[in-house]
Amino acid sequence: MERNQSVMRNDTLAEMIMRRAENIYNIADNHARTVQVCIDRFHELGANEQLKVLTERLQKLAVRANCDRSAFAFILGSQHVVS
């Protein structure tokens, strides 16, 4: 355990940020795969209303992922922006 801590202390700030970003990406990727499975199941069940609601939410997330923070605040209103 001490060795891992000493290695982490020697990492640059950029390396720590990249490692954290990679960890967060892996979490998001796993959740995205789960959403894909749910979409397939909704199609199998003919759950069109649930697909419509989910589609709207995913579209908002896509906008959020592709915008810079100031454009995002303008589009959705600053009360929705999470720092």
Q: How many domains does the chain have?
A: 1
Give me the pLDDT at residue 41, please. Answer: 98
Q: What is the Cα–Cα distance from 20 to 64, expressed in whole angstroms?
A: 20
The pLDDT score that the predictor gives to residue 81 is 46
Question: Both tokens of residue 26?
Answer: 């892996």
Handedness of CA 13, 14, 17, 18 (dihedral sign): negative
- CA nearest 51: which of 60, 41, 42? 42
Expressed as residue numbers, the domain containing 50 is 2-80
Report the pLDDT value the prediction gives residue 11, as an integer from 0 to 100: 83
Alpha-helix residue ranges (DSSP H) falling in the chain: 2-10, 13-45, 48-66, 69-76
Per-residue confidence of the chain (83 residues) as pLDDT tens digits? 455 555 556 789 888 988 999 999 999 999 999 999 999 999 999 999 999 999 999 999 999 888 776 665 665 565 554 43
